[in-house]
Amino acid sequence: MKSYSDTYKQAGVDVTAGYKAVELMKEHVARTMTSSVLTGLGGFGGLYELDMTGMTHPVLVSGTDGVGTKLKIAFLMDKHDTVGIDCVAMCVNDIICCGAKPQFFLDYIAIGKNYPEKVAQIVAGVAEGCVQAGCALVGGETAEHPGMMPAEEYDLAGFSVGIVDKDKILDKETQVPGDVLIALPSSGVHSNGFSLVRKVFNVEKADLTTYVEKLGAPLGETLLTPTKIYVKPLCALFDALTVKSVAHITGGGFYENMPRAIKDGLSAKIKKSDVRVLPIFELIQQMGKIPERDMYNTFNMGVGMMVCVAKEDADKALDVLKANGEPDAYILGELVEGDEGVILE
């Protein structure tokens, strides 16, 4: 490509670095391609042919999100190949809560200075997330922002589009008392609550590479553990039985997210002793002297997704999940009458 501008480069934007970044990321993007993708990188839009075979009333479902201040940990660790997984996860895990299968994804990277190798690492993570979700990375944007953000920093966001047959959209209105709630374990903090995490551990001054016995790993490594993507096991579950609702446990923890997937007049009844809390949350609570209520209202506490099924389907649901990549899924609680939303005993 013959495009270049010395004047623009002197102003802080090197267009040739952008072209190099695209070349470096192509091999990662290629991993996500499906037969529905009609164009490669470089066009003004990503063309995607929808396969609506067997659908009567196809409905598109969209979701958008970013990685948030978890990126600060990536900066401090100088590790950039996993946050892209987080970005994809935060979008596709929302889409799947409607019963929709993600089809494609686009990312947006705003960066202080375009270091092509760093951008390629970020996109490698995005591509890995797309592979895990079974969706195609059809495009994106890398925008160099000199003067607006430090040269070594960036922000990362994206969005995804999924599809579901209208008759198969999950319907919480079918819920009744006695329905069972199943927990799909999280991989860690995921991508929420990091403003509090950073404050608790004073991460800018902490040695993130020191091994922490309670965690079985260095603190920084544990905090950077990417968000788990639940698309494939949940799609398998949707095919096997009737799922009444799914809640993605993100910012706001149990108290904000579970009620979003529960019918009015019902509440989730959960024994705290049944919640398989991960060690990182115990450490956060201990170090930050955080009240238990605030922990459950901020973090996922080890539960990445909550799935609601009829009581008679619970055992089958666990079997399907365990056969499709969720061997540690377990019964978390049940629905009861009441308007508390979440009852933690």
Residue range 232-244, pLDDT digits in tens: 999 999 999 999 9
33 vs 143: which has the higher pLDDT: 143
What's the 3-state SS for the chain? CCCCCHHHHHCCCCHHHHHHHHHHHHHHHHCCCCCCECCCCCCCCCCECCCCCCCCCEEEEEEEEECHHHHHHHHHHCCCCCHHHHHHHHHHHHHHHHCCEEEEEEEEEEECCCCHHHHHHHHHHHHHHHHHHCCEEEEEEEEECECCECCCCEEEEEEEEEEEEHHHCCCHHHCCCCCEEEEEECCCCCCCCHHHHHHHHCCCCCCCCCEECCCCEEHHHHHHCCCCCCHHHHHHHHHHCCEEEEEECCCCHHHHHHHHHCCCCEEEEECHHHCCCCHHHHHHHHHHCCCHHHHHCCCCCCEEEEEEECHHHHHHHHHHHHHCCCCCCEEEEEEEECCCCEEEC
From CA 217, how far away is CA 157, in angstroms rounded? 28
Q: How confident is the model at residue 23 (pLDDT cuts 50, 70, 90)?
A: confident
Residue 34 pLDDT exceeds 90:
no
Share of the chain above pLDDT 70, in %: 94
Provide the whole-model pTM. 0.93
Q: How confident is the model at residue 15 (pLDDT cuts 50, 70, 90)?
A: low
Residue range 92-114, pLDDT digits in tens: 999 999 999 999 999 999 999 99
Residue 42 pLDDT exceeds 80:
no
Q: How confident is the model at residue 16 (pLDDT cuts 50, 70, 90)?
A: confident
pLDDT in the model for residue 39: 78
Residue 73 pLDDT exceeds 60:
yes
User: Which of 326, 192, 188 shows the shortest CA–CA distance to 246?
Assistant: 326
Residue 19 pLDDT exceeds 80:
no
The residue count for the chain: 345
Q: How confident is the model at residue 289 (pLDDT cuts 50, 70, 90)?
A: very high
Buried b (16+ CB within 10 A) or exposed e, 188-197: bbbbbbbebb
pLDDT in the model for residue 91: 98
Residue range 136-173, pLDDT digits in tens: 999 999 999 998 999 999 999 999 999 999 999 999 99
Residue 12 pLDDT exceeds 80:
no
The mean pLDDT of the chain is 93
**Picking from 111-115, 175-179, 304-308, which range would have the lowest pLDDT averaged per residue?**
111-115
Residue 326 pLDDT exceeds 80:
yes
Spatial contact of 280 and 189, defined as CB atoms under 8 Å apart: yes
Spatial contact of 97 and 61, defined as CB atoms under 8 Å apart: no
